[in-house]
Amino acid sequence: MSDPVLELKGIEKVYNPGQPGEIRVLRGLDLSLRAGEAVALVAPSGAGKSTLLHIAGLLDTPDAGEVRIGGEAMQDLPDRRRTAVRRADVGFVYQFHHLLPEFTAAENIVLPQLANGTAPGAAKARAAELLATVGVADRANHRPAALSGGEQQRVAFCRALANRPRVLLADEPTGNLDPATSDRVFGALMDLVRQTGLAALVATHNMALAERMDRVVRLDGGVLVAG
């Protein structure tokens, strides 16, 4: 069995520590994901799933515990190195696409590659490849306002995968879509995971979609439990 791509060990997060309003969000949480594995993260609103995703993606730091990506411990790295790892090895998708409105679909996928040092020609080729994979190649030159909600979210998936990350973190990626569109967009996401060998952690309230993934974990009382 391959080594984990993403490992969280003993993760703790406390807001307002030592104050009357102290909130212990994560309590010694452990999780590991392997390449090509899609894991559903299920939790009620306010349970801390966004906090967990932000810590896993190096957007936030835990108060205790260890985050490893590709076997490398992240917590003691200088900020510049953490930023480089996040840019190259982690892809994010949110409930709302957050595409840049003044750029086309293709340009939204090209820009993060240019920021990561990819040559323009290679970045454009990568964007075209990804858009074709999710079935919106014909929308490459359209700006987000001209795309449907499902098309916008598929472009957001492509943008998240533009730099060939090891880890994909998705926070309710189909939460604002109607059921039929949600199913199509989720299918596109799973195709990308399988084809690229990503380790994917997907927060969702949709149990029908969650059960189509390899595992379901539930955030309960600040720790993860199976199913």
**pLDDT tens, position by position, for the chain (227 residues)?**
567 899 999 999 888 777 777 788 888 899 999 988 999 999 877 778 889 999 999 988 898 999 999 888 888 888 888 888 888 899 888 877 789 999 999 999 999 999 888 999 999 999 999 898 888 899 999 999 999 888 898 899 889 989 989 999 998 887 777 888 788 778 877 887 888 888 999 988 888 888 889 999 998 888 888 75
Reported pTM: 0.87
Which tokens in the block code for residue 135? Answer: 């079935």
Please, are residues 134 and 195 in contact by the beta-carbon 8 Å criterion? no
Strands of the sheet containing 90-94, edge to edge, are 90-94, 167-171, 199-203, 38-42, 215-220, 223-226
| Beta-carbon count within 10 A of 104 CB | 20
Could you give the count of Cα atoms lying within 13 Å of 43 in the half-sphere of its Cβ? 26
HSE-up (13 A, CA, CB side) for residue 6: 30
The DSSP H or E segment spanning 81 is helix 79-89
Closest CA to 162 of 136, 125, 205: 125
Distance between CA 182 and CA 28 in Å, rounded?
A: 33
